[in-house]
A and B are shown apart, each in its own frame.
Chain A
């Protein structure tokens, strides 16, 4: 055994822990929770969800072999497949968060059919395979007790519903707020933004306004909610199902309020460069992928995913695309879903990527800590960071080269119309932003494999392989 460690995010629920042992992922089941797990397994729910591709598959590992590694109060050890890429709800575009919310509700409705309920409703229990959400926590399930309330309702509202409503009602993306709190958006916070017209919608009134009002009442000591207040069977199974179905139907209809034509959508459709240029770029990327055979691609600045698709067509197995334009991401997500592509579009700001954060700054990994790509695509990206964000070219190239052993970078010269538009209202304080400087720096850190001028304005594509000592 070379490596053994507990996954830092796995500490809240005492029913089990997630460990990584020699690159394999294991989930332990505590002896105290084993009877619940055995009950849930006996119902056939987990097998059904796995067969429907809604739950990550698992197999019971040889406990004798592994038991010694874990605490003695462990009853079972489950081996679960490693995900291509772990993403977080603050990186998901609206449609991804919506798909995850619907999966959470679908699974809970299915569970109730089997006499099972869920202990929580955290969005971090869902991951994506392309644009398909999959539930990953096998210990969220336990026996349903007649009359009990939905324990995860508040968490569902904070981590799914309220962030979706922020965009659907106000056109404000959830990502920055969600990344700040990590646990989503509280009903008390969202309700402060609501206008009277929003109160006319029953679902908003109930799940945001009333929930927030009740919470404030208890916190403000206006109402004493104690053991004598609450009947055990006030929330019947039919009320439970009705609540889940109502939320499912409502969330299924939510759309971003700001889905007009964004700058980037315009950019893709009208192209400031010719389609011949796009074809050249696609060809360059395809040749790179065929030659170097990377399996996992990261596309920084993926827009609607043209080059991810080119890479997948050329043999890459999985592509994670990053972009900061919410409109482009929605188009990318829809395209990947319609064509069942192994392509996962995510929100990110290259000038401020996801950091390590949460408890002990280890609970959620930053982008660099998750850098597992075989190759990077950074097309039409670096001029935005260098000119719009003043990031020095050498730092920028260093960052990209550090993310993966090889890749393709596009250098857009200052003479290009896109670079000119970035310089339109400001002084040119970038004497070092030149093609020669870019190639010199790349050459120091990486071996340049191929170059091609792809436009009449001098846009240059460079494929490279990182040098061993970097």
Chain B
């Protein structure tokens, strides 16, 4: 995770500049799905950003499964 994060940070010059900062005359919302797709279509830098965005939820997938299996184990069951 940290390696990808570092890679993305160094691979994209101007990462600190933001799309949201430049909204002059954008009278409508471009849509999050479209913005992310355009990052992907933009090339390697955007792909890195997408991976970074999904990395946490990817890890959460395993965490939640582990938590789920722990919570289903008999010792955690609550009997009234």
Which residues between 13 and 64 of chain B lie within 8 Å of chain A, taking CB atoms? Answer: 13-15, 17-22, 25-28, 30-43, 45-46, 49, 52-54, 57
Q: How many chain-A residues does the 8 Å CB contact rule pick out? A: 51
Residue of A at shortest CB range from B40?
A: A210
User: 28 A-B contacts, Cβ less than 8 Å apart?
Assistant: A119-B27, A120-B27, A145-B22, A147-B14, A148-B19, A151-B26, A153-B38, A154-B31, A157-B34, A207-B37, A214-B34, A217-B54, A219-B32, A222-B57, A225-B32, A225-B36, A228-B18, A230-B35, A230-B49, A231-B15, A231-B39, A231-B49, A232-B17, A232-B21, A233-B17, A234-B38, A239-B42, A243-B41
**Are A234 and B37 within 8 A (Cβ)?**
no
**Are B39 and A235 within 8 A (Cβ)?**
yes
Interface residue? A150 (CB, 8 A): yes
B41 CB to nearest chain A CB (Å): 5
Interface residue? A394 (CB, 8 A): no
**Are A212 and B33 within 8 A (Cβ)?**
yes
The interface residues of chain A lying within 8 Å CB-to-CB of B27 are: 12-15, 119-120
Chain B, interface SS category: helix
Residue of A at shortest CB range from B30?
A: A151
Interface residue? B4 (CB, 8 A): no
The interface residues of chain A lying within 8 Å CB-to-CB of B52 are: 229
B11 CB to nearest chain A CB (Å): 10
In Å, the complex CA distance between A216 and B32 comes to: 9
Q: Apart from A231-B46, A235-B39, what 7 extra A-B contacts exist at CB < 8 Å?
A: A214-B32, A231-B15, A232-B17, A233-B13, A234-B12, A234-B49, A243-B38
In Å, the complex CA distance between A298 and B68 comes to: 66
The interface residues of chain A lying within 8 Å CB-to-CB of B54 are: 217, 223
Interface hub of A119, A145, A216 (most chain B Cβ within 10 A) = A119
Given A150-B38, A227-B20, A230-B35, A33 and B53 contact (CB-CB distance below 8 Å): no
Residue of B17, B22, B43, B53 touching A225 (CB-CB under 8 A): B53
**Are B33 and A211 within 8 A (Cβ)?**
yes
**Are B19 and A120 within 8 A (Cβ)?**
no
**Are B49 and A236 within 8 A (Cβ)?**
no
The interface residues of chain A lying within 8 Å CB-to-CB of B12 are: 231, 233-234
In Å, the complex CA distance between A148 and B18 comes to: 10
Interface residue? A155 (CB, 8 A): yes
A22 CB to nearest chain B CB (Å): 29
Interface residue? A218 (CB, 8 A): yes
Given A153-B30, A232-B22, A206 and B42 contact (CB-CB distance below 8 Å): no
